[in-house]
Copies of this chain bind each other. A is one copy, B any other.
Amino acid sequence: MVSETVANPHEESVDRHARDMANAIRALSIDAVQKANSGHPGMPMGMADVATVLFRDFVKIDPKNPSWPDRDRFVLSNGHGSMLLYAIHHLLGYEDMTIEELKNFRQIGSRTAGHPEYGHALGIETTTGPLGQGLANAVGFALAERMMNARFGDDLVDHKTYAIVGDGCLMEGISHEAIDLAGHLKLNKLIVLFDDNGISIDGKTSLATSMDQVARFKAAGWNAEHVDGHKPDEVKAALERAQTSDKPTLIACKTIIGYGSPKLAGSEKSHGAPLGDEEIKAVRQKLVWESEAFELPDSVVKAWREIGQKGAASRGEWEKRHDAAARAAEFDAFVSGALPGGFEKAMADYRAKLVAEKPKLATRKSSEATLGLVNELTELTLGGSADLTHSVFTQTKNQSPVSAENYAGRYIHYGIREHAMAAVMNGLALHGGFIPYGGTFLTFADYMRGGMRLSALMGIRVIYVLTHDSIGLGEDGPTHQPIEHLAMLRATPNLLVFRPADAVETAEAWEIALTETGRPSVLSLSRQNLPTVRDDASQNLTRKGAYVLKDTDGARDVTIMATGSEIEIALAAADTLAGEGIKAAVVSFPCWELFQEQDAAYRAEVLGTAPRVAIEAASGFGWERWLGDKGRFIGMNGFGASGPAPKLYEQFGITAGAAAKAARELLGR
């Protein structure tokens, strides 16, 4: 293929080389969507020219080594345009992205899911689809790069993060949170290409927005400029300027959605439905694309494969630098995410110390104390909070704040931006080199549900420290008191939700959260002080999900189950009942998901056959699973109220007296 400039149906300045490479993306995209009879052709058609320049001249990847640590990261934030990514991966020669996979677009078991899914195919850096998440993930990637660079230097870490985003990504609130943080932290290796096609599902974006995006990004401390997305030279020049910027860069690429479709170009009708056989024929004619469906000219394949060869060369050079680096082993250990050898023993010793000392602390304070140890044991942990550092206690003394002047820091002030915190943590975890954890109040899980769900769906190690986890937060009132949040989180697949009862269980929960590499965790922590209730720390009992904390002498009359701050109440109720000759066992239930994973015999042993009472200062929704038909729940039946915590517990009847009464009633006494 000769890179001569020829007349293009649409734009004279487009060289034929780039045009054919881009048209290959277009053809594969429309054919795959047509075959699936489902999907989004408009975006790949519109962004094919931009993506071609981006990959041809800039993105540093090696398709044969898709997880090379110093590769550039590419994020397709408007994930509905997934065929753009799949087509590019096929063209670049990713070994798993065969033409068969493209033919199986959107079918069960294929690598080519409707939206790009992390882990489904090589080189997919993150799962996207819910709009704006990818942009915030990209901020996490770019931040991780700067932070790893600060630790290991340019020789080992020096890569860019590229993201393509759509109108939807930029309308979503999370985009504001993410770009404000990126601008503040001067993430100059973050380069975002905005598919500025002026079309969303309902029609012209002018139906709903008048935002000047370039001005908006400038206000957030970004470079930002407009280019014509169908003029490769303009795109290339802008990308070149971005390479040496001291700020993150937005390139707003004016594009035509469905570019190449005689009937549908520029219309929302090209967005989310197959074009139809007839229109596909017309597109082929218009684009002067003569190959049949799923077939590609050799010259085009060759041009795309050359990109990979460049990437392989870059990787080779990096390998040499890596092998020569004094700290190569340390770098590899960071990237592996492995905890240090002595971790388990140190945590066991710490538990023993806690059992001996029996501190009376809020579990948010116990968490801080645990982190004090953890953050000494490993440098992988990267703390943060959505502006509640002194309430959620996520910062330890060896964690200096991350800033544009201090990427070596280990604590991120995420600002009052819960949603971005979750999604940026996802990006940090996906990048490698860090175990991100971040704190806010449990209620504000509401604000970051979108990001939390993706942690769970991707199965990545992100840890949410969610404090003030009940009406126990007191005077701030019902807007700040979680009720349904534990149920919401427990109902979420692949997420561990811990509600520890004391300092020991808090340390245990941290240990599990840090070692579970395939799923995120939530630590639900109290504002109020709680006594240490565990006498035995010889094993991590939280790992069982639930266990008998206080057994009875002889057969139980009743089992009282509770979590977190309500364990104290359960123990008091058991004492009261003991005084009346009623034998009540107390089961601590710090993690439903782990209990569910125990064998049936263990579960039966813990739950027992006696009538059951459960206490949790939250909605009882879901507790029937453990209570059974005859159980009784002591908790919240509606929203909370503003008042001192002890009075609220009285007011809402979450007391040892109420639990004892429920037990008596169950026993008919």
Contacts and interface: CB of A to CB of B under 8 A. Distances in A.
Interface of A: 36, 38-39, 79-80, 106-110, 113-115, 117, 127-131, 167-168, 171-177, 180-181, 183-184, 200-202, 205, 207-213, 215-216, 218-221, 385, 387-391, 401, 403, 413-420, 443-444, 446-447, 449-450, 453-454, 456-457, 474-480, 483-484, 487-488, 490-494, 619, 621-622, 624-625, 628-629, 636-639, 641-644, 647-648, 651
A25 B476 CA distance: 20
A36 B644 CA distance: 9
Contact of A219 (B117, B215, B475, B484): B215
Given A494-B638, A642-B113, A79 B629 contact: no
Interface centre among A215, A387, A414, A419 (most CB of B within 10 A): A387
B177 A106 contact: no
Contacts of A208: 181, 184, 387, 413-417
29 contacts: A38-B475, A108-B643, A108-B651, A110-B642, A113-B642, A115-B480, A117-B477, A117-B478, A129-B477, A171-B180, A171-B416, A172-B447, A173-B177, A175-B176, A200-B387, A201-B391, A202-B387, A202-B389, A207-B415, A208-B387, A210-B221, A213-B219, A215-B215, A216-B216, A449-B449, A456-B639, A487-B622, A621-B621, A622-B622
Contact of A115 (B36, B477, B491): B477
Number of copies: 2
A216 B207 contact: no
Given A172-B447, A477-B129, A624-B625, A108 B220 contact: no
Contacts of A454: 479
B619 A491 contact: yes
A563 to B, nearest CB: 16
Contacts of A108: 641-644, 647-648, 651
Given A108-B642, A415-B171, A416-B172, A479 B180 contact: no
A479 B127 contact: yes
A520 to B, nearest CB: 13
B114 A416 contact: no
Contacts of A107: 642-644, 647
Contacts of A651: 108
A466 to B, nearest CB: 14
Nearest to A173: B173
Contacts of A176: 173, 175-177
Contacts of A418: 172
A659 to B, nearest CB: 20
Nearest to A176: B176
Contacts of A628: 629
A80 B391 CA distance: 15
B447 A493 contact: no
B114 A476 contact: yes
A417 B172 contact: yes
